[in-house]
Amino acid sequence: MRYLTAGESHGKQQTTIVEGLPAKMPITKEDINDSLLRRQKGHGRGKRMQIEKDLVDIVGGIRHGYTLGSPIALVVHNDDFKHWLDVMGEDPVPEDQNVRRVVTRPRPGHADLNGALKYGHRDMRNILERSSARETTARVAAGAVAKTLLKNLGINIVGYVKEIAGIKAEERDNLSIQERIKISEDSPVRSLDEVAGQKMMDAIDQAKKDGDSIGGVCEVYIEGMPAGIGSYVHYDRKLDGRIAGAVQSINAFKGVEFGIGFEAARKNGSEVHDEILWSEERGYYRRTNRLGGFEGGMTTGMPIVVKGVMKPIPTLYKPLKSVDIESKEPFSASIERSDSCAVPAAAVVMEHVVAFELAKAILEQFPNDQFPKLKQAVDQYREEIRSF
């Protein structure tokens, strides 16, 4: 399974094509729209979220509520494009006219300058329109399809916020995944800790007043993945490595860890590794879950716990210094967006890119032409390893 996205931030639409899903899998437009609307929520979001209401248009691969086995094509229209037609339109610009809103001033922390150097663009709008976090709309659409597959296999996933601006939510390891989903959905910052959540909102409001931005840590939690998904045989088949790469590819993400992650460097081995137990009801399981559901690049059957670090958004109301590529004169960087914190929305994006990697790994390991046969094979495998 793979997906491809296309579209610019202020262009006509965001397009996603997902290939490799089995036929006869139940899915509806609502499954995708729910995810898209969740991405737009969160305390600290800017005016763009008020302009766009992201709803999917399914234009291929699904008929009468079921997948066909052919590529699925999804479109999310940009309502704001009508105001950008002369800036972002595909037709050539007449010789007697100038292109509006040309960008020659790269913003620190963005892809502007590096993209211009790579592709030779003198107008850096050609870079910033694609490198924008707006592209995550298309990635969430792809992930929503993957989440639907996982849910139909008894695998559930949720993303929420662990930390914003150094304010950490209390650990709540005793919560079920359904409780995590409900609590995070009810929180404006997707925190499982109401007290910390209010402090996070206060910090976001203060950053907005200060003309600054703040980052944080997202966590994705998954229950229901059977043990042995992934592989220890080759580096590029290790599932935790593939998940790490997917998370790191999200705009502004700068680090990934599983379970206790970097804390393992500060502990003895006896405080890190998870002892193996067995019961007739559960089969093999671990006494603890410090490794976050992975050993040797494969799932252990324990909940998967992965965290991602998001840096503060680089566009500020107190602009940083840069250099105009035409005049080479210094200037204060321009403002292209107004989010002071996008960590709550990023938790939703992270949830969906992780879901895609999990679904992809499932489809690689089991018969994948028809969903009923896939489900039967996964259920049979679960029983085999339980009694192994």
Binding residues for NADP(+), as ranges, are: 39, 45
What is the sign of the dihedral through the CA atoms of 179, 180, 185 and 188?
positive
- Encoded amino acid at 122, one letter: R
CB 164 within 8 A of CB 343: yes
Annotated binding residues = 39, 45, 130-132, 251-252, 296, 311-315, 337
Q: Which residue in the block uniquely carries the two structure tokens 């093999």?
A: 284
**How many angstroms separate the CA atoms of 147 and 149, rounded?**
5
Give the largest Cα separation in the chain, rounded.
79
3-state class (DSSP) for residue 386: helix
Phi, psi torsion values for 17, nearest 5 degrees: -120, 125
Annotated binding residues for FMN = 130-132, 251-252, 296, 311-315, 337
- Please give the DSSP secondary-structure letter assigned to residue 278: E
CA-wise closest residue to 27 among 64, 54, 59: 64
Listed in sequence order, the residues at least 6 apart from 234 whose beta carbon sits closer than 8 Å to its beta carbon are none
Structure tokens given for 115: 């993209």
Q: What's the CA dihedral at 330, 331, 335, 339 to 10 degrees?
A: 70
